[in-house]
Amino acid sequence: MKNIVTFFYMSLKRNWFSIIVAIVLGVLLCVMQESFGGNFNAAFREMKVAVIDRDKSALSKQFISYLKEEIGMQIYTGKSYEAYSNELLNRELSAIIEINENIQNNVVAQRASEPIQVTTINNYANEAFIKAYIEGYMGSVEVLGVASGGNSKRFEALLEEMQAGDHGLELISANEAMIERYTASIGFKLTQGFYLNFIFYIGLFIGLMIVTDHVEGTFKRIQSTPMRPIEYILGTALYALIVGSVSAVIYIGYLVFKQSDIGLPFWMVAYLLLVFVLIVIGISMICAFIVKTKVGVVFSIYGAGCIASILGGAYFETNMAPEFMQRLAKIVPHYWYMECIRGMQGRESYNPMGALVILGLYALFFMLLGAVLFNKQLTTNE
């Protein structure tokens, strides 16, 4: 234990500047969260929206009418998803809404169904507004589903009465709080995508420190002492974990202060932030023990962070990629990190424990592999 603390203090003393970088990153995450998730008053009426209606039911038709007549959106129907995707990419559309099959049957039978999908391109404000109004509308029709007693004809009659405003039936409007919740959750998701790349700054400090120790003969001196390789690994990891915790504490403190409803409990946010720091530590150690040059370590660690972030869907959902890319994405921890966030925010039945366990196993694997490589380097006198 004493040797671990010694290595920790040595690492902190040699890389004191990393504390400043950690503080800057924590503040930057707060600024990004505020920028992405704090502006929920943007204009969204009269936006151009394409609707893919796969249900072709009275409910889906009334929903389209609601968006057009009540909200004032310009609705386009009739084309394929691929055609509308091209228009979305060309900024001719603001969003694509996909109404799933059997949505009316599920509402009438009071069964859970897949949520109505909304696709935008870097337009989180419009996406938040659309999802908020979808939730408000579906909240209303679910009440009708209960009132219909499972009778589809009765449900459609109630639906027409609600649309017409008869018998006191009114649509549940999306209020400011609902919209703010959506924008906060989307802001968190976007911020975390960038965090998965930014946090690799810790890896650069670790990698350069390990290469310096190798060049200056620190590893050879360790061989002549009773110190064990695992103590060097744990001391270095403890330093990086403390530094990474600085950013996490600042960011989580901001979320708590703002009382942001991001769709995840704060304990889970803390786990995700800190377990990924351990993953970065392990990856950085592996790169440093294999590459052994400062330039090579910088490029390998930074390259690993950038490529894995893109491959794992940190910025864009992987379901937009080809099938083989979707399968390949699952080999990087970034995928499971974002899968946990998107699942918690978008799917009521989603269980995050699988993703959380996988991330923990990734951290353990990379740390153990780093220890094995370090031990091998000492015993072979490389």
- Using the predicted structure, report yes or no on whether residue 55 has a pLDDT greater than 80: yes
CA distances from 338 to 193, 196, 276 (A): 8, 9, 11
Question: Residue 7: what pLDDT?
Answer: 65
- Convert the pLDDT of each residue in 217-255 to its tens digit: 666 666 666 666 667 777 777 888 888 889 989 999 998
Question: Residue 275: what pLDDT?
Answer: 92
Question: Residue 68: what pLDDT?
Answer: 83
Specify the length of the chain in residues.
Answer: 382
Residue 247 tokens, joined? 């950013």
Mean pLDDT of the residues in the chain: 80
Strand partners, 148: none
pLDDT-derived band of residue 125, with 50, 70 and 90 as boundaries?
low
Q: What is the mean pLDDT of residues 14-36?
A: 84
Question: Residue 140: what pLDDT?
Answer: 80
Question: Residue 169: what pLDDT?
Answer: 47
Alpha-carbon distance 50 to 36, whole Å?
24
- Convert the pLDDT of each residue in 154-211 to its tens digit: 888 888 877 776 444 455 555 556 666 777 777 888 888 888 888 888 888 888 887 7
Q: Indicate the pTM of the whole model.
A: 0.67
Q: What is the mean pLDDT of residues 319-326?
A: 73
Tokens 């690799």, residue? 200
Contact 43, 14 (CB under 8 A): no
Helices (H), 216-265: 218-223, 229-258
CA distances from 100 to 52, 127, 345 (A): 9, 18, 19
DSSP track, 31-69: HHHHHHHS------TT-EEEEEESS-SHHHHHHHHIIII
How close are the terminal C-alpha atoms of the chain, in Å?
A: 27
pLDDT-derived band of residue 357, with 50, 70 and 90 as boundaries?
very high
Show Cβ contacts of residue 321 under 8 Å, excluding neighbours closer than 6 positions.
313, 329
Residue with the bigger pLDDT between 306 and 13: it is: 306
Question: Residue 40: what pLDDT?
Answer: 45
- In the chain, pLDDT over 90 holds for what percent of residues? 8
Q: What is the mean pLDDT of residues 7-24?
A: 79
Show Cβ contacts of residue 117 under 8 Å, excluding neighbours closer than 6 positions.
97, 98, 100
Alpha-carbon distance 206 to 225, whole Å?
22
Single-letter code of the amino acid located at 29: L
- Using the predicted structure, report yes or no on whether residue 358 has a pLDDT greater than 90: yes
Sign of the Cα torsion 260, 263, 266, 270 reads negative
- Using the predicted structure, report yes or no on whether residue 345 has a pLDDT greater than 50: yes
- Using the predicted structure, report yes or no on whether residue 37 has a pLDDT greater than 70: no
Question: Residue 62: what pLDDT?
Answer: 87
Phi, psi of 359 (to 5 degrees): -65, -40
pLDDT-derived band of residue 43, with 50, 70 and 90 as boundaries?
very low
Nearest of 44, 26, 45, 28 to residue 36 by alpha carbon: 28
Strand partners, 98: 52, 117
Nearest of 2, 1, 7 to residue 218 by alpha carbon: 7
Question: Residue 368: what pLDDT?
Answer: 85
- Convert the pLDDT of each residue in 58-95 to its tens digit: 888 888 888 887 777 888 988 888 888 888 888 888 88
pLDDT-derived band of residue 106, with 50, 70 and 90 as boundaries?
confident
Question: Residue 118: what pLDDT?
Answer: 86
Nearest of 189, 148, 140 to residue 169 by alpha carbon: 140
